[in-house]
A and B are shown apart, each in its own frame.
Chain A
Amino acid sequence: MIVRIMGEGQYRLADDVRERVNELDNAVVTAVDGDDEDAFHAAFEEMLDVIRKQGEHLGDEEIETSDVIVPPADTSMAEATAEFSGDGLIPD
């Protein structure tokens, strides 16, 4: 699976990493729903960290479409609440 972190570029994730990212993505949504800012930052930052460290960074000359696009690292809780709450449209 190919993931883009907005502002940082694309990463190719193996299946097991994808699973972990999916769990953390769900944790982010739970935190946003529960209005828990600390939990939001913890889960979101860990998600980005897993993608960056365990994913394979795609070169700039490679042209690929991402399966999943992650908001920028400096996304605030307020932005996340306004724009990214709810179920999302891509099924688990």
Chain B
Amino acid sequence: MAGMAGRMSTVIKSKISKLLDKAEDPGETLDYSYQKQLESLQNVKKGIADVVTAKKRLGMQAQKLEQSVVKLDTQARQAVAQGNEELARTALERKQFAQTELQSLDQQVAELQSQQDKLTESEKRLRTKIESFRTKKEVIKAQYSAAEAQVRISEAATGVGEEMADVGLAMQRAVDKTEDMRARASAVEELEAAGTFEDLTQLGSGQDDIDRELAALGTGGMVDDELAKMKAELGQGSAPPAAELESGEEKP
């Protein structure tokens, strides 16, 4: 079978042969293989724990983003109430951006959850196979000549090695995904840490890198809609700005 399936088989088989090459003495192969299998199982457990930790961390980053969305919405409302449309627009643009990131983060955390579930299943399968290998190893030791035992144990070790390679690849994919997400979430955090989410009065002071980035996102239409809605809710249209809120630094 050529193509994807054939190629994948080749990749996995080369991984397994590297794994098995380390055992040279036929007499040692059995116990060595079993020992290696137990070690791999420990690594799988550790890998799953890492995925769980990373997922929690991403969940916390998502919570922070949620708070930013709420805060920016409040700030936009205040700006509308003060009649500072430009400030409101900037806050809403940032809110849109944070919201888009939040949605993608939520979705990715959900994907990570499903990968974690699969990994847990795979770990269980590997554990069962290793246990089965242990039983088989004793039978082979007792019943076969050295040469024949070598052939049989090599077959069995390859079978378990394949299961390990499978879990290993799944783990690698989960880790890669986690790292992508972490980088993305950190980028958003950096935007926030730039201070501009904190102090709205700074927003009016002209175009910075973030403003240009936001403009490039083309959220303008959505921002216009939301701004109009906010104005309507606050009873503004042609009405003058509400005076009861303490006036911040007004935009010229």
Segment of B3-11, B53-61, B178-186, B211-219 in the binding face: B3-11
Q: A7-B170, A66-B9, A69-B12 are in contact. Are A88 and B159 (CB under 8 A)?
A: no
B7, B132, B158, B162: which contacts A61 (Cβ < 8 A)? B132
CB distance from B125 to the nearest CB of A (A): 5
User: Once the chains bind, are A92 and B2 in contact (CB under 8 Å)?
Assistant: yes
B5, B132, B156: which contacts A25 (Cβ < 8 A)? B5
Per-residue CB proximity of A63-92 to B under 8 Å, as 1/0? Answer: 111111111100000001001101111111
CB distance from B134 to the nearest CB of A (A): 11
Q: A9-B125, A88-B10 are in contact. Are A63 and B133 (CB under 8 A)?
A: yes
- A12 CB within 8 Å of chain B: no
List residues of chain B with CB within 8 A of the CB of A6.
Answer: 8, 166, 169-170
Q: How many residues of A contact B (CB 8 A)?
A: 36
Among B1, B2, B166, max chain A CB count under 10 A is at: B1
Per-residue CB proximity of B135-164 to A under 8 Å, as 1/0? Answer: 010000000000000000001101110100
- B64 CB within 8 Å of chain A: no
CB distance from B168 to the nearest CB of A (A): 10
B residues with a Cβ closer than 8 A to A are 1-12, 118, 122, 124-125, 128-129, 131-133, 136, 155-156, 158-160, 162, 166, 169-170, 173
Identity of the chain A residue whose Cβ is nearest the Cβ of B169 in the assembled complex: A6
User: Once the chains bind, are B166 and A90 in contact (CB under 8 Å)?
Assistant: no
User: Once the chains bind, are B170 and A25 in contact (CB under 8 Å)?
Assistant: no
Q: A63-B132, A90-B2, A92-B2 are in contact. Are A83 and B7 (CB under 8 A)?
A: yes
Identity of the chain A residue whose Cβ is nearest the Cβ of B126 in the assembled complex: A60
Report Cα–Cα, A66/B5, bound state, in Å.
11
User: Once the chains bind, are B2 and A72 in contact (CB under 8 Å)?
Assistant: no
Among A7, A32, A68, A83, max chain B CB count under 10 A is at: A7
Q: A28-B3, A68-B5, A90-B2 are in contact. Are A63 and B166 (CB under 8 A)?
A: no
- For window 1-24 of A, CB contacts with B under 8 Å fall at 3-4, 6-7, 9, 21-22
User: Once the chains bind, are A88 and B12 in contact (CB under 8 Å)?
Assistant: no
Q: A69-B12, A72-B173, A92-B1 are in contact. Are A63 and B136 (CB under 8 A)?
A: yes
Among A60, A80, A89, A92, max chain B CB count under 10 A is at: A60
Q: A7-B166, A63-B160 are in contact. Are A70 and B5 (CB under 8 A)?
A: yes
A-B contact pairs, 25 of them (CB 8 A): A3-B5, A4-B162, A21-B5, A25-B1, A25-B3, A32-B4, A60-B125, A60-B129, A61-B131, A61-B132, A63-B129, A63-B136, A65-B158, A66-B9, A66-B162, A67-B9, A69-B8, A70-B4, A71-B5, A83-B7, A84-B3, A87-B2, A90-B1, A90-B2, A90-B9
